[in-house]
Structures are given as C-alpha cells and as structure tokens.
Structure 1
Amino acid sequence: MQFTTTNAKVSAIESDCLIVGLAVDQEFGPALQALDEASDGAFSRLAERNDLPRQAGKTTILHDVAGISASRVLVAGLGKLEKLDGIVFVKAVQAAGKALRQSQATSACCLMDDAPVQGRDAAWKARHAALALAHADYIYQATKKPKDHAAPATESVSFPAGNGIDTELGIANAIAAGIQRCRDLGDLPPNICTPVYMAEVAESMAAEHDGLEVEILDEDQMAELNMNALLAVGQGSTNPSRLIRLSWKGGKEGDAPAAMVGKGVTFDTGGISIKPRDLMEQMKFDMCGAATTIGVMEAVARLKLPLNVEGVVAAVENMPDGKAYRPGDVITAMNGKTIEVHNTDAEGRMILADAIYWTGQKLKPAVTVDIATLTGACVVALGHHAAGIMTQDDELAEELLAAGTEAADRGWRLPLWDDYQEQIETPFADMKNLGGMPAGSITAGCFLSRFADGQRWAHIDIAGAAWQWGKPESASGRPVGMLVQWLADRAGGWDALG
C-alpha cells in the first residue's frame, strides 16, 4: 500500500473511495461538512434518518454521491466523543479498512484526520490511520491464493497535505513493512517456517538493507558455547536449531546497543509433555516473539534509525522423539546454572535463558528486552488487549508502557517481586523450569531474570497480544509498533530521523 498526500478540495478528490468519520452526538466535521455541501445536503438527510453509522466499528459505503468526484464515500463510526482516544480511533480506522478491503476500490483518500481524538494531533492521526488501513488490508496469501472474483487489495491511500504529514506517512510505511514481515512469518505453516527458514529470511533482509548485518550460529557453534538449554529443546526435532542475530549500527560508534531477544519456537507440540489436540495447529504462532524481533529490525533498517540496535532470535522446534529432552532432566545452561525440567512445554524460557545470557555477554547492550509468547497464564490475566511487561527497572517499565500508549499497542506491567522466586526452587538443581499454577507468567519472568544478571532487562509476554487464541485469524503483528516507538524514543524521538 502506497501513502501519498493531496491538496485537492474534498469534493474534487479523484479516488475510488473517501473515508470519513462520524461520532455519536457530533456535528459533521470539516470533511463531512464539505461533502454535505457539495452533495446538496445528502449527508444531512441521511443523518436525520439515522442512516449514517456513529457507533464505533460500524461502517457504511455510499456510491456515486452527486456533486462528489470520488466513486464511493465510506462513513466510519467513531463512537462517543468522550471515549474517543487513540485506541478507539485506530479500531475505527481498521473497521473502515476492512470494509474498504471488501469493496472493489483500489484507491482511497482518508479524511479521518479531523476526528477529535483526545490528546492526538493531525500528524499522529495520519500516521496511525495509515498503519490501521495497512493492517486491515493484509490478507495471507503464501499458501492460499485469492480467487479470481476476490476483492482487490488497496493499492494507494492519500491523506490531506499538511505540515509534517509526508514525514509521518514515511514513518508509517516503514513500521507497516515491519508489521507485515512479522505477520507473514507468524502466519506461515511450520513445515515452511522452520528455524533454518527464519535464518534465511534474516540473511535476505541483510542483503536488502544497507547497514543491516546478520550472524547465524548453527548447532555445532552453539554447542561450543555450552548453550545446552536452547539445544535441549530442539534436540527432538529433525529441523536444526539456529541462533540469529541482526545488527543495525545507526548510532555512534562504540555506543552500547539496545537489544531485543525473540522466542522463536517454530512449532511447539509441548515435547514429551505433549499438548492437547485442540488448537495445537495454532502453535505455529509460538515464534511470534522472533517474528516481532525480525519485524522491528525491518522497520529500524527502513527508518535508518540513529541508534545501535541488536535483534537476537532463538529459533527451535519442540518435538517429542527418542532424543527429546524429558521431565526430570537437569540441564546446565550457558551461564553454568542448572535447570531441572519439570515440563518440556515450558520450553520458551529454556531457549531464552541461553539467548539472553549470550546477548549480555557478547553484545554488551545498554538495555535488553525479550519478547515471547511465553505463557497461557498471561492470556488468562490480560486477554488479547495488552502484552505483559515485567521488569524490576521502574524507568524501563515506564519507557515501554509509554511507547505502547503512544503506538496504540499497549502493555500492562506485572510485578516481578523476589517473593515469587521461591516457586522455582528445587532440591535437585539451581532452579526448575516451572513454578506451578499461581502467577505462572510472573514465575516465568523470574526464571528469565536469573539469566539477565548485570543487564538492564525487561520481559514482554505476548501470548495474548500476538494472535487471537481459538480464532482462525492472522498474527496481529504486535508488539512491533510498541517496540519501534520505544527505540525511536531512545534515539531522541521521530525528529531525530532528520
């Protein structure tokens, strides 16, 4: 999808579809008022009959409105004005985008920048409207081609020209590419998206973007480094494990980087502690932490962010086999600490343990954030609306929470108190890999904290944010938006892009 700007009068815009918003108990905004005047009051008459949508998420498409050059006008409900915040706005634009995607329109002009969104200026609305429309336009096609009569993709969307709008649309284009990369990887079937495949994607990205570098460690190299926790998880699979590193050196030489570490279990059967049959097919999404990391690096390279950034991916497949690791095994991780395996389905923390420690030792980051579809307990706690953020660093927690709010990609902080550490104690090793039912997401974070010694570190559990459990939907692409915003903030804000 291409984003452009226009200076044309609203009623004279040549496009397949104009997109306007309308809130409950709201007088027409400037765009809709101009369309109403050009159409000799057509929209006022529709509003009087309550034929225009005002509830958030509702849409109507009008065709061939007299006096308007565009072929269609899509009216999107914005809900109640007192509740019209950034989240509601983004959802409303996504609803408009879905309606647009189901139409025959291939071009559009988005006029929703005049929506009275609380605390948001025109630049923010343009950027996030563009992202919302790109998100809604996404349809998985890697293994299912569209039918001949399928509705076409939206090729271009224009926005009213204004100060800084072109810059905002350029930012949106880069972030949208990162989100699409994340969704593409997440949606792929596990027989295609293997650890080796993800490594190949990273290599192709490095070849595509000047300044993006890649390093791949194979199983022999990881064995030399004693990455036994990571390797244990993958040893039951015929698909070899990989550690993937993407590096962007956009900051000053010698500046410590910001690092991300993504969980990349390309398919998770649970191993010997095998999962139930129902919804096991969705365990292809268990690599969405890795997909997020790769997607963020895609956006960082496109933005040419003036910051040193490292993206590390631990990529494995967790399968039951005669060689698979077992409950009761004691594994010595790269940092020398021993782990008693209580459940082979608590595998994400095993691979992240070595990856986080390797990142700290090898890359010496200023800050590290790991991203993982780690626990079903996080879905129980937060549902699908927020990612769980855990850290003992209050400043880092605030950075991530603020970035999530700004990006309309929210997180919620969960405690990481030392009180929870006792749940992963065992008489047979330094720790066990399962803390029991109480506070399952938090004890997983406690486990990871033991491999982040000396690092300024946070853990983001995206088990609820990365996809909709039990629904036949695509990966969400979250939290790419949050993390790109966080990195941009660390680089000095969007103005630092020049």
Structure 2
Amino acid sequence: MSRFLSVVAALALPLAAADAAAERRISFAPYALPGSGTVALAVREGVPGEGAFAQLNAASNGALRRAVDAMQFEGKRGSKLDLPGLAGYDRVILLGIGEEPVTPRVLEDLGGRVGQEGAASASPRIELLWVGEEADAAAHLAFGAALGQYRFDKYKSRDAEDDTAARGEGELVVRTPAGVAAGEVYRAQWQPVATAVKTARDLVTEPANVLYPEVFVERAREAFDGMPNVRIEVLDVPAMEKLGMGGMLAVGKGSARPPRLLVVHYTGGARDQAPLAFVGKGITFDTGGISIKGSSGLWRMKYDMAGAASVTSAVLALAGRRAPVNAVAVAALAENMPSGTAAHPGDVVTTMSGKTFEIMSTDAEGRMVLSDAVYYAQQEFEPKLLVDVATLTGSIVTALGDEYAGLFSRDDTLAAQLTAAGELAGEDLWRMPLHESYGEGLKSPVADLRNGGGGPGAGVGAHFIGNWIADDLPWAHLDIAGMAWRESEGTPTSPTGATAFGVRLLDRFVREYHQ
C-alpha cells in the first residue's frame, strides 16, 4: 500500500431506489434470413441489389425494391427507411451506410443505430443482418448496439399500463457468417468496454444530490468488485492535508461533502513495467464557488466530473478485458460550493509540489484539483505517460463545438497516437496550440502563478496544468467540455445526455500502442 494513502472504509451511502433501464440481451446467430418479425439491414448508397437486401427482396416478390423506389430511398449514410408490415414482416428497417469502406467505426455506428431502434421498440426480438466477411464484424456490430441502446430513466415513474415500459426489452440478434462464435470475441474484448461506457454515463448522469465524492468512490468499488489485479485506494481530507494538497482542499472546503482522491491501480502487465496514468477532473457539482456561475445551464454542472468518470471507467475496461498493461486512474473528486468556509479570489494556495498559485477565480477549479492530482500521479507511480481528461473550459466549446475535444500536448508522438485512436474509436480530437506565451497571463505578483487570466482560455488552462508536469514526461491534456454531454441530437453510439467521452478513446489508445 502507498506510504501516502489513508484508506477510507466503505460507507453505507444512498443509492437510487429505482432500477436502471432495461436493455436488450445481445445474442449471436449464423447468417440467415428470418421469415418474420423485425429485421434490420444495411444498404450501400444506390441500394444495389446484393446481400441481405437481394434475399429479402426476392422473399417479398419484389415488394422491398418497389417500396425503396416509391420512397426514393438512396441509402446515404445516416439515412433510414422504416417499412412496417412488409411481406409478412412486422418491420423491415433499412439503414444507409453510404459509399465509404466498411471499418469497425462504420460497423459500430450501424449497430448503434439498431440499438437505438431497439430501445424505442416494444418488439420482443430484433434481428440485425450482416452478410459481409469482415473480421470481427459481429463483435463491432454488437458493441455499437450496446452503446446505442443506452438510456437512463431510473427516476421516471411509470403507470402499470404504460406501454413504454416494455420498450427496449427483449433480444437483439446479430446474424453474420461468424455465427455464435462471434460472441466469444465480443464478450472478451468489447462487452467490457461497453460496460465501462455505461458505468461512466451512469456516473455523469446521476444528480448531484445522489452522487458526490464519497458516493463516486462507492460506485467505483462496486464496479471493480471481484476483478483481479485491481487495487483501489482513497485519500481522505487528513491524508491530503498531510501531503499538502492545497489545490484539492481549496476547492473542496466550501462544501459539506468532503473531497476525495480516488486511485485505481490495474496491474495486467509485468510488475516492473511503468504504468499508463490517466487523471480526471471530478467536480461532482460546480457552482463556481465564490465566483458563482449564472443560473443558465447550471443544472448541467453535475457533469463536471465527466473526466474522472471517463478515466476510472477506461481502467475498468482494461481490467474487464484483461489488457496486458499496467494502468492507473486518478480521480480528483470535489464539490465546488460557496459558503463561509469556501476559498476566496485572491487566496494563495500551496500545492503538493510546493508550487503556489493565486486564485483569480474560484470557478477555475478544475485546474486547481488537477495540479495536485497530476503531481501525485507522477510522484507515486512514475508513469510511462500521463493523460488528463477534464471538462475544463467553455472556450474549447466555442472553438470546437461538439465535434471535437481539444487536445493539448508537448509531445508530438503522443498527440498523433491519441488523435488516431480517437478516429478509430469515434471520439475525435483536434490538436490545439500550447504556446509558451500563454503563460504571460498566469504571472502573479504574490505567488508562482495565477490560476487564470488573459489569453485563450483553453490554452491558458492547459498551460497551467502543464506547470505541474515533468518536462520529460509524455503528457496530453484533453479538454472534453464540449463532448461530455449532448443536449440535442446524439450520435449512433452516444444517445442524448452523458457520452462517456474518453473511455473508448483511451481503450483504443492502449490497444493500438501499448499492448
């Protein structure tokens, strides 16, 4: 056990009274055209008469082609034609995948769309047909379906006669030439990642009156319960005081709910192998503190712990699929509240490293907790690399919207690898500048640094965190403020609400470059 850690005993903390939403059981079967029921199939742009489409068209005596022509359906990517009651089938769902080559991401998006259809349907069985021979196609289709069917409605009450209660229940069958054997690949390699994504989404979606630092710790213990090669340790307030973690303590001291630093250490590789370190911002609710935010959109600030949820769940994915690596997740958990004990603008804070900063805004709290968390990760674990994930700034949303997360790094190789992994995983990054001049606005007359002020907000925030990173350590900062929550239309594999952005990206990064 770490010489720095004070392990907090398990607490009897409140959990939600309602059950989580039911999801369809995903199963696998050999490719065949069912004679009835609900079927979903992909069609390329132009709707060529091939594969499952040709077979179903023949079985319907040409009714399928006549329906496509009548509706002028072209099979463009993202398009859909829903045909109820066609030729003895309850529903035939045609999903356009465009003209691009079939990749795992295309397959996952296709599966996600079917998963979303299944979540809204009361049909007891939906069958997804894929005749292609792509390696592990069934596993990627199932992975996408598991992600796409996610929903969080545990706090919604339902009448006994509410017909929506049965929606999303039943079975989703993936029919490919790989048959039942495809289930082995899915269960070993992709189902653990789907479970991890769901765990992160649940954590982010929970309201702040249910989920706060101590409860986050309990949920993590539950998620990792029984997993081999995993050690969970927690720093409580006395432990952080002993270490001099002024950044963590300054943010958390305004709340009646004390901060915690959660550490999840997974050892899947050699004992002497340096771990990959993933550090996440975990502000379970962000009022802005004394520098209080306006009321518009304030409810969404329960999502300010999305970075912590993502890094913790990324390690959950690695442990679940027995990845042959060592990895550590460090979650900096605090609630940022205004009170008589809260930190003030103008306060000077001494961090674990001994470096000091002047608080210009208590609403720049993410970088405050990360200053201690990233330093702790380096001192305690001597990692091979470090990636921090945070909903850090509104300015990154202004710059990149909800299409990309911002990537800041001093290491070109690490930046390129993370970008490539994001493209494969469907979690896209855009590299942003990390210019030395950004530090000019952080100069303080009374401390080593200020925690904000001047220049591009996202770049200044990244620059601040970088002051606690060793110069020779490969490091990347991911600002996911625009990607962690989708209020309007979601994507095929990420419905509206919490996205768990970062879980798939970090898992794919490990698969591609560290296994």
Q: Following TM superposition, by how much is the alpha carbon of 1:54 offset from its aligned partner in structure 2, in angstroms?
A: 2.7
Counterpart CA distance in 2 for 1:236 and 1:367 is: 33
Aligned to 1:331: 349
Using the TM superposition, give the Cα deviation of residue 8 of structure 1 relative to its aligned residue in structure 2, in angstroms: 4.3
Task: Give, in angstroms, the shift of residue 157 of structure 1.
Answer: 2.6
User: Do the aligned residues in 2 keep the contact of 1:21 with 1:112 (CA within 8 Å)?
Assistant: yes
Q: Does residue 444 in structure 1 map to residue 461 in structure 2?
A: yes
* 1:135 corresponds to: 147
| Separation in structure 2 between the aligned mates of residue 169 and residue 443 of structure 1, nearest angstrom | 42
1:53-68 equivalent positions in 2, closer than 5 A: 54-66=75-87
SS at match of 1:49: helix
Q: Counterpart amino acid of 1:35?
A: L
Task: For 1:387 and 1:2, locate their aligned partners in 2 and report how far apart those are by CA, in whole Å.
Answer: 32
**SS at 2:207 equivalent:** coil
- 1:118 aligns to what? none
Contact 1:404–1:482 (8 Å) recurs in 2: yes
Counterpart of 1:152 in structure 2 is 167
Q: Name which of structure 1's ranges 443-452 and 481-490 shifts more when overlaid on structure 2.
A: 481-490
Deviation of the 1:310 alpha carbon: 0.6
1:471, distance to aligned residue in structure 2 (A): 8.3
* C-alpha displacement of 1:479: 1.7
Residue number among 47, 57, 67 corresponding to 2:68 in the alignment: 47
1:404-458 deviation digits (Å, cap 9, x = unpaired):
111111111112122322221122211111133x321111111001111143211
The alignment's TM-score, normalised by the length of structure 1, stands at: 0.90
Question: 1:162 is matched with which residue: 172, 178, 197?
Answer: 178
Q: What pairs with 1:183-198 in structure 2 (closer than 5 Å)?
A: 183-198=201-216
Contact 1:53 1:75 in 2 (8 A): no
Asked whether the equivalents of residues 31 and 111 of structure 1 are also in contact (C-alpha less than 8 Å), the reply is: yes
Identity of aligned residues (%): 34
Q: Distance in 2 between matches of 1:189 and 1:393?
A: 37
* Cα pair distance change 1:5/1:387, threshold 3 Å: same
Q: Does 1:178 align with 2:190?
A: no
Q: Which has the higher contact order (CA 8 A, sep 6+)?
A: 2
Q: CA deviation at 1:279?
A: 0.5
Classify 1:471/1:55 alpha carbon distance in 2 versus 1 (closer, same or farther; 3 Å): closer
The letter of the residue matching 1:101 is A
Aligned AA for 2:147?
H
Q: Does 1:98 align with 2:98?
A: no
Partners of 1:109 and 1:100 lie apart in 2 by 10
For residues 112 and 277 of structure 1, do their structure 2 counterparts lie closer, same or farther at Cα, with a shift above 3 Å needed? farther
Tell me, yes or no, if the aligned pair for 1:377 and 1:441 is still in contact at 8 Å: yes
TM-score, normalised by the number of residues in structure 2:
0.87
Over residues 9-55 of structure 1, what are the superposed CA-to-partner deviations in whole Å (9 max), with x where a residue is unaligned?
2245x7x4221122432313411111111221121111221254634
Return the match for 1:74 from 86, 90, 93. 93
CA distance 1:194–1:415, shift in 2 (3 Å): same
Count of aligned pairs: 480
Q: Is the 8 A contact 1:19 1:110 kept in 2?
A: yes
Shift, 1:490, TM fit? 3.4
Q: Which residue of 1 aligns with 2:47?
A: 26
For 2:437 and 2:332, the matched residues in 1 are separated by 29
Deviation at 1:92, TM superposition (A): 5.2
1:242 corresponds, among 260, 270, 288, to 260
For residues 452 and 428 of structure 1, what CA distance do their matches in structure 2 show? 22
2 CA distance for matches of 1:337 and 1:106?
60
Residue 260 to residue 338, structure 1, CA distance change in 2 (3 Å): same
Aligned to 1:224: 242
Q: Please, which runs of 5 or more residues in structure 2 have no aligned partner?
A: 1-23, 491-495
CA RMSD in angstroms comes to: 2.4
